[in-house]
Chain A
Amino acid sequence: MAEAAIFQGLSWNLLADLRELFTYPFMVNALEAGTIVAVMAGVTGWFMVLRRQTFAGHTLSVIAFPGAAAASLAGLPLAVGYFGFCGLGALALAGIAGSRRSLSAESAAIGSLQALALALGFLFVSLYHGVLNGLDSLLFGTFLGITTQQVTVLLVVAATAVALVAIAARPLFFASVDADVARAGGVPVRLLGFGFLLVLGLSVAETSQITGALLVFALLVTPAATAHQLTSRPMLGITLSVALALAVTWLGLALAYFSIYPVGFYVTSLSFGLYLLVRLTRALASRRRTTGRLALEGA
């Protein structure tokens, strides 16, 4: 946040402020990366919420952390650790989901997997003494330190992930809404479930390089949850989810630029605020509907 000292904060001229936002290359990179990540998170997050795999999604984002720590311990590029561990995590989670035991057994298994990931991450970090200063950025990300090359990598990965989801969208939707009927209809439910977790792992691995292992989750879950509250139509829902993710990312970045507080705080607060607002409006509307109906019946 050394750069923050140079800026004068928000002036009264909004247009000039906006123009200022785009004059710094690091800011342009952050906006581009944020846009790419938001689109991908909006799409995969919508399916994650539909499939009720939020816990699995969070576990994948935690697995990114030991991945990065292991890579720095072994002297490999961080991306290798992120993608390698998230891929393995997706495999393990697919195995847990595939065993089709009770809900509580699944919950315990995912929790244990995540705890193990954390323990490994902390072990790697303490074995590799040098990284401890970087641990915060490993966990919480460096949104404003993205290079142009990273943006290109992001774009390629995101395009792959979104394309994969788009190709499988129809059967995936079918399998997520009613697995039994889909299976009877010849849809490869298990394969789709595994494939989806892999794509989710891919998105998480990529996003965590920017937002940090902990905050990936914010872009995946909250805009998608808000979209699901607003509509149950798939195309509209996915579009909404992407739009919301984009809006909170852009606003969050701009707000963080003009203040001293971190991007992650703004992005999560904006999206949670929206989510609460939507839920509150829905709750009030449904109450009004029931009281209205009661009044009608009374009359």
Chain B
Amino acid sequence: MFAHEFMRNALIAGSFVGLACGLVGWFVVLRAQVFAGDALSHVAFTGALAAAVLGFNILAGLFVVTILGGIVMGILGDKARADDVTIGSLFAWTLGLGVLFLSIFTTQDSAGNGTAGVRVLFGSIFGLSTADVRISVVLATLAGALLLAIARPLLFASLDTAVAAAQGVPVRPLGLGFLALLGLVAAQATQAVGALLLLGLLAAPAGAAHRLTANPYRGLLLSALFAVGSIWIGLTLSYVFPTLPPSSMIIAAAVGIYVLAITTTTTVSPRALWLRLANGNVA
């Protein structure tokens, strides 16, 4: 498996993408901003297509548009937290723009390359070049370092916004900075695992980590481990069974870990749970 260059590239780039997503994802889940990550992954898709249509460097377009998207969400939302309705409205418009650029792109391309949008959406982790890998590694490291640099005040601001603000923590700039960082990670993941599947790496490993421990350092570590682990499991599965697409397998692994974390921490027996459900009492 390690003899193939495409496999080595996928594993290296994937590990760094997983690391960044796992770390940032822990804060995303803590701040209940998974929806923002979801929206940003679509912003990334639109940004890449826009750059392709307008003839800019796709990578540059992807990063600029996605980071800007994060900042706009923060500005439009209350307290730089971006409420769901604001995100939703911006999101819907982004999708519309994506459709526009996709239609221009497909008519421009004389071959009628209708799968281009699909590739941006779902990624092609087995098609990464060595240069792509280098970019992935550098950006993931940058994102991880930035996050760790603001981790303490961000944790404070996320757990108790009012008290943090009273203590002089710059809550609003932190929130905006975090959304911009999320944009960076979304853009970086998009070129590797595709825009749509980023969500799974943000939500599932971090969700599992939050379920298992309330300690922030242990949680961050677990979340990163789960994300990198899902990438490895997914890639191996896809290598062993070539008909299964790698992106789907990675997400399946991540969600599998999440479900496992929930079932192992649920103290109620399945029978008792069923009885409660049958009685209409889910809480």
- Which A residues contact B (CB, under 8 angstroms)? 1, 49, 52, 54-55, 57-58, 95, 98-100, 102-112, 114-116, 118-120, 122-123, 126-127, 132-133, 135-136, 139-140, 190-191, 214-215, 217-218, 221-222, 225, 228, 260-262, 264-269, 271-272, 275, 279
Q: How many A-B residue pairs have CB under 8 A?
A: 207
Among B125-133, B160-168, B241-249, which stretch is in contact with chain A?
A: B241-249
Could you tell me if A261 and B103 are in contact, using CB atoms closer than 8 angstroms?
Answer: yes
Residues of B within 8 A of A275 (CB): 89
Residues of A within 8 A of B100 (CB): 261-262, 264-265
Residue among A54, A133, A139, A272 with most chain B CB within 10 A: A54
Could you tell me if A54 and B87 are in contact, using CB atoms closer than 8 angstroms?
Answer: yes
A241 CB to closest chain B CB (Å) equals 12
26 contacts between A and B (CB under 8 A): A55-B35, A100-B282, A105-B29, A106-B32, A107-B32, A107-B34, A108-B203, A108-B207, A109-B207, A111-B200, A112-B203, A115-B203, A115-B255, A119-B247, A122-B122, A122-B197, A136-B102, A136-B106, A136-B117, A214-B98, A221-B91, A228-B85, A261-B103, A264-B100, A268-B96, A272-B92
Could you tell me if A133 and B114 are in contact, using CB atoms closer than 8 angstroms?
Answer: yes
B120 CB to closest chain A CB (Å) equals 12
Cα distance, A57 to B84, chains bound together (Å): 11
Could you tell me if B197 and A140 are in contact, using CB atoms closer than 8 angstroms?
Answer: no
Q: What string of 1s and 0s marks CB contacts (under 8 Å) between B190-228 and chain A?
A: 000000110111111011001100000000000000000
In the complex, chain B residues 101-119 whose Cβ is within 8 Å of any chain A Cβ: 102-104, 106-107, 114-115, 117-118
CB < 8 Å: which of B33, B96, B203 contacts A265? Answer: B96
CB < 8 Å: which of B88, B107, B118 contacts A221? Answer: B88
Cα distance, A268 to B96, chains bound together (Å): 5
B112 CB to closest chain A CB (Å) equals 9
Q: If A95-B282, A107-B32, A110-B34 touch, does A118 touch B199 (CB 8 Å cutoff)?
A: yes
Residues of A within 8 A of B85 (CB): 49, 52, 54, 221, 225, 228
Cα distance, A264 to B114, chains bound together (Å): 17
Q: If A110-B34, A214-B95, A265-B100 touch, does A116 touch B251 (CB 8 Å cutoff)?
A: yes
Could you tell me if B29 and A272 are in contact, using CB atoms closer than 8 angstroms?
Answer: no
CB < 8 Å: which of B118, B252, B283 contacts A116? Answer: B252
Could you tell me if B251 and A118 are in contact, using CB atoms closer than 8 angstroms?
Answer: yes
B16 within 8 A of A: no
B283 CB to closest chain A CB (Å) equals 5
Instruction: Provide the main secondary structure of the chain B interface.
Output: helix
CB < 8 Å: which of B92, B114, B204 contacts A111? Answer: B204
Q: If A103-B32, A122-B122 touch, does A264 touch B99 (CB 8 Å cutoff)?
A: yes
B254 within 8 A of A: yes
Cα distance, A185 to B114, chains bound together (Å): 55
Could you tell me if A269 and B203 are in contact, using CB atoms closer than 8 angstroms?
Answer: no
Could you tell me if A136 and B118 are in contact, using CB atoms closer than 8 angstroms?
Answer: yes
Cα distance, A272 to B95, chains bound together (Å): 11
CB < 8 Å: which of A109, A191, A272 contacts B90? Answer: A272
Residues of B within 8 A of A214 (CB): 42, 95, 98-99
Could you tell me if B92 and A100 are in contact, using CB atoms closer than 8 angstroms?
Answer: no
Q: What string of 1s and 0s marks CB contacts (under 8 Å) between B21-50 and chain A?
A: 000000001111111011000100000000
* Chain A residue nearest in CB terms to B33: A107
Residue among B87, B95, B251 with most chain A CB within 10 A: B95
Cα distance, A264 to B199, chains bound together (Å): 23
B178 within 8 A of A: no
